[in-house]
Structure 1
Amino acid sequence: MIAIFDYGMGNLHSVSKAIERLGYEAVVTSDPRVIMEADGAVLPGVGAFGDAMANLRESGLEEVVKRYAGSGKPLLGICLGMQLLFSESEEHGRHEGLNLLPGRVVRFQGDYKVPHMGWNDLEFLQPSPLFEGLEPGHVYFVHSYHALPERQEDLLAVTDYHQPVTAIVGRGSVYGMQFHPEKSGELGTALLRRFLEMTARRAG
């Protein structure tokens, strides 16, 4: 079973339906017991970083996310959910994140269109269980802020939008995707499937 964190900010329906289409049970929940018993967990997110962290704290789910990450079970952050994994964000002021991955989230700066919206190629930087048997291709992005990991080994894939942009991160069993895999065609579906396969393997 895959738990999807329900903290009031996320595209919960589309993520749960994508997981179910791949043959896995998905439960949208804010119940810590249900989350901690799940084989894998997804932290979605749409909106502003500060609001999302406030919701996680007020709902008591901030500590649940951290405990889940510490359990060694696979955890996937999607879009804003990926950004929340980092130490801090400068979106509308400075906000502390979950600090599961060291680094910060900053706004795109330059004479080009923001938000970054549309289909962009991925470049895989290093081996990962997420990439087994896959070739890089296009996925769908919508974001005005991007993550700057402190540790290069946490950076698994980038895309190019006037600069290298963090697309996939991972350390241990914690992963993040800046794009929406459930909206990213064949490659997005395949990456989500790899994550779900990892949860099944660990669950035995």
Structure 2
Amino acid sequence: MTAESATGAGPSTGSGTGRKRVAVLDYGSGNVHSVVKALARAGADVELTRDPAAVMNADGLLVPGVGAFDAVISQLREVRGDELIDRRLAGGRAVLGICVGEQVMFERGVERGVETDGLGQWPGTVRELRAPVLPHMGWNTVDAPEGSRLFAGIEHERFYFVHSYAATEWTLEGRGEATKPLVTWAEHGERFVAAAENGPLTATQFHPEKSGEAGIQLLRNWIATF
């Protein structure tokens, strides 16, 4: 079980700093150290951990994801990450998924003919994009909805994507304007879900930690929601 702490200005001093505590789920996904650094730049006290108590007690939980859908699901379940995510969301505690960490929030993923059950937080299927060039790699703009807290002040910025698969439909509806999910779209060959804000669950298909100052501001915006 590994853990590391980071802040924007040295070792973490805990909640006494007044900074929000964010746990980055350490389940074997790559690219976690750049996520930790980006969160620290955004103003959080950050811990890379798989300890259930630390995950549950943090103000926010970030779920990274790099690689194949089925591999990420398997790794998450090995450390009971699926249960921890479900428990946090049931209690209204903030969770942010990034890249495949967004994809696994859907019901299922289909990659190279292999269908894998996702975490089922949202209905829908993640599949290969119909695009002339894959992967979709590089900077792209997004179409954020009115009222988005995640994209406040950065609606017209570009963000960094690296993926071949995505959710291309959104069917979940809220019970009213107050609970209506806010879905941000992007396009590469076809439209796909670039981000979603749904109560305590937020996710992005792109990588905020690779998206320069716009990505850091997005993380600040997320941290400000809890």
Which whole-Å CA distance do the structure 2 matches of 1:91 and 1:149 have between them? 19
For structure 1, the 5+ residue unaligned runs are 200-204
Q: Which of 26, 30, 36 is 2:56 aligned to?
A: 36
Q: Is the 8 A contact 1:155 1:166 kept in 2?
A: no
For structure 2, the 5+ residue unaligned runs are 1-20, 174-179
Which whole-Å CA distance do the structure 2 matches of 1:108 and 1:155 have between them? 22
Q: Which of 118, 121, 124 is 1:103 aligned to?
A: 124
Aligned to 1:64: 84
Which whole-Å CA distance do the structure 2 matches of 1:72 and 1:128 have between them? 18
Which whole-Å CA distance do the structure 2 matches of 1:82 and 1:123 have between them? 17
Which whole-Å CA distance do the structure 1 matches of 2:54 and 2:87 have between them? 13
1:12-31 equivalent positions in 2, closer than 5 A: 12-31=32-51
Which whole-Å CA distance do the structure 1 matches of 2:171 and 2:109 have between them? 13
Do structure 1's residue 184 and structure 2's residue 211 form an aligned pair?
yes
1:69-108 equivalent positions in 2, closer than 5 A: 69-92=89-112, 93-108=114-129
TM-score of the pair, normalised by structure 1: 0.92
TM-score of the pair, normalised by structure 2: 0.83
Identity %: 40
Which whole-Å CA distance do the structure 2 matches of 1:150 and 1:115 have between them? 25
The alignment of Structure 1 onto Structure 2 pairs a total of residues equal to 198
Which whole-Å CA distance do the structure 2 matches of 1:79 and 1:72 have between them? 22
CA RMSD, Structure 1 to Structure 2 (Å): 1.4
After superposition, give the CA deviation of every residue in 1:48-92 in whole Å (9 maximum; x if it has no partner).
110111111122221111111212111100001000111100024
Do structure 1's residue 156 and structure 2's residue 176 form an aligned pair?
no
Q: Is the 8 A contact 2:106 2:122 kept in 1?
A: yes
Structure 1 range deviating more: 9-18 or 143-152: 143-152
Q: Which has the larger radius of gyration?
A: 2
